[in-house]
């Protein structure tokens, strides 16, 4: 089993240290040029460390590609006013029923309000780590590992497609094809672009879409591309209700929680890689 690499600084208040890859030269000068006076102050206070835990000071010089670690200054965030109910908890796993509008991992303007940081704080589990991810706007079953040593074994379930996930979605309109159908296409998500797009070429995304009646659909992804379910539903002429990206981008205020995306990660099933037993978790949420 490969050894899990850990950061040289512990999780603090639910958040791990930021890793900064250097361009090479005096570390204090580079951090100051890139991040300003607060970064210089952290160096002066002995709050920046190298990968081996050595404290960076004003004389430290590191080569290009080396990394240093420090705790970031958290931005002001809009509180997301929804609880994160726990569906299951044992020595290995925590499974939650994530609400809409909560990011899985700290990213961009969603850091302290991410599911990971909130759960680390609420459950006092500093090594908690997501086994997979859900989009910020998607609700439903989300699984975390409790201990760092177990993380890889459960994450591998998802990377090799051994975990079966089904979603529910609500959409208005009439599909352009007869359902059920297996939608296959090539989806590309480019850095800096809000939308993923379908392009000609070898398919890299597949979703089984079934009509359950009254505007409710069951979606079973066979791959895990970014925004895959949302793109495939929109491609059939039935974009998911409440979607601010597909088919068109809609500007939504950060504090507007009035129109959740009608997409729910409903079930998660797999054979536990540690115990060998079948596992099945089901969301208790319903779509509006």
- Tell me phi and psi for residue 27, to 5 degrees: -65, -45
Is 277 inside any structural domain?
A: yes
The answer to whether residues 162 and 28 belong to one domain is: no
**211 or 71: which carries more pLDDT confidence?**
211
The confidence band for 107, taking pLDDT boundaries of 50, 70 and 90, is confident
Is 133 inside any structural domain?
A: yes
The answer to whether residues 185 and 258 belong to one domain is: yes
The answer to whether residues 152 and 33 belong to one domain is: no
pTM of the complete model: 0.88
The answer to whether residues 26 and 96 belong to one domain is: no
The answer to whether residues 62 and 110 belong to one domain is: no
What does 59-98 look like in DSSP terms, one character per residue? T-EE-TT-EEEEPPPPPP---------EEEE-SSEEEEEE
Q: Largest Cα–Cα distance in the chain?
A: 68
Q: Could you give the CA distance from residue 98 to residue 271 in angstroms, rounded to a whole number?
A: 22
Indicate which CATH number applies to the domain containing 124. Answer: 3.30.2350.10
Contact by Cβ (8 Å): 240, 263: yes
Is 11 inside any structural domain?
A: no
Sign of the C-alpha dihedral computed for residues 195, 104, 250 and 230 taken in this order:
positive
Q: How far is CA 192 from CA 19, 189, 195, 196, 261, in A?
A: 21, 9, 9, 10, 22
Predicted confidence (pLDDT) at residue 4 exceeds the cutoff of 70: no
Is 243 inside any structural domain?
A: yes
Q: Rounded mean pLDDT of 38-56?
A: 93
The confidence band for 5, taking pLDDT boundaries of 50, 70 and 90, is low
Is 2 inside any structural domain?
A: no
Torsion of CA 73, 77, 82, 84, to 10 degrees: -20
Among 40, 70, 100, give the residue marking a domain's end: 70
Instruction: Domain count for the chain, please give it.
Output: 2
249: phi > 0 → left, psi -120 to 50 → alpha, else beta; which? beta
Which residues, listed in sequence order, are joined to residue 171 by a DSSP beta bridge?
240
The answer to whether residues 200 and 106 belong to one domain is: yes
Tens-digit pLDDT profile for residues 118-158: 999 999 999 999 999 999 999 999 999 999 999 999 999 99
What mean pLDDT value characterizes the chain? 94
**9 or 166: which carries more pLDDT confidence?**
166
Is 79 inside any structural domain?
A: no
The answer to whether residues 195 and 275 belong to one domain is: yes
Is 26 inside any structural domain?
A: yes
Instruction: Out of 55-59, 107-111, 186-190, 194-198, pick the least confident.
Output: 107-111
Q: Could you give the CA distance from residue 121 to residue 106 in angstroms, rounded to a whole number?
A: 14
Residue 91 domain boundaries: 86-282
Tens-digit pLDDT profile for residues 66-99: 999 999 888 789 999 999 999 999 999 999 999 9
The answer to whether residues 65 and 101 belong to one domain is: no
The answer to whether residues 92 and 173 belong to one domain is: yes
């Amino acid at each position: 089993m490969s050894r899990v690499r850990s950061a040289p600084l512990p999780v603090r208040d639910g958040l791990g240290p930021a890793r900064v890859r250097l361009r090479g030269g005096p570390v204090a000068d580079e951090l100051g040029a890139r991040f300003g006076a607060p970064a210089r102050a952290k160096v002066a206070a002995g709050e920046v460390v190298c990968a081996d835990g050595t404290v960076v000071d004003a004389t430290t010089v590191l080569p290009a590609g080396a990394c240093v670690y420090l705790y970031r200054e958290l931005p002001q965030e809009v509180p997301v006013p929804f609880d994160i109910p726990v569906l299951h908890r044992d020595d290995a796993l925590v499974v939650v029923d994530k609400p809409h509008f909560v990011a899985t991992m700290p990213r961009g303007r969603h850091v302290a309000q991410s599911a990971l940081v909130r759960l680390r704080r609420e459950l006092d589990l500093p090594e908690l780590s997501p086994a997979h991810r859900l989009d910020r706007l998607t609700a439903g079953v989300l699984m975390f590992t409790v201990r760092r040593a177990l993380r890889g074994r459960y994450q591998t379930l998802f990377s090799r497609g051994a975990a079966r996930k089904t979603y529910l979605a609500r959409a208005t309109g009439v599909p352009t094809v007869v359902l059920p159908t297996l939608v296959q296409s090539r989806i590309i998500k480019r850095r800096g672009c809000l939308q993923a797009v379908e392009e000609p070429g070898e398919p890299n995304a597949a979703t089984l879409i079934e009509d359950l009646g009254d505007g409710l659909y069951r979606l079973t992804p066979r791959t895990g591309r970014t925004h895959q379910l949302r793109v495939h539903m929109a491609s059939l002429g039935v974009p998911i209700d409440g979607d601010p990206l597909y088919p068109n981008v809609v500007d939504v205020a950060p504090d507007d929680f009035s129109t959740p995306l009608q997409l729910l990660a409903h079930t998660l099933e797999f054979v536990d890689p540690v115990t060998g037993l079948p596992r099945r978790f089901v969301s208790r949420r319903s779509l509006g």
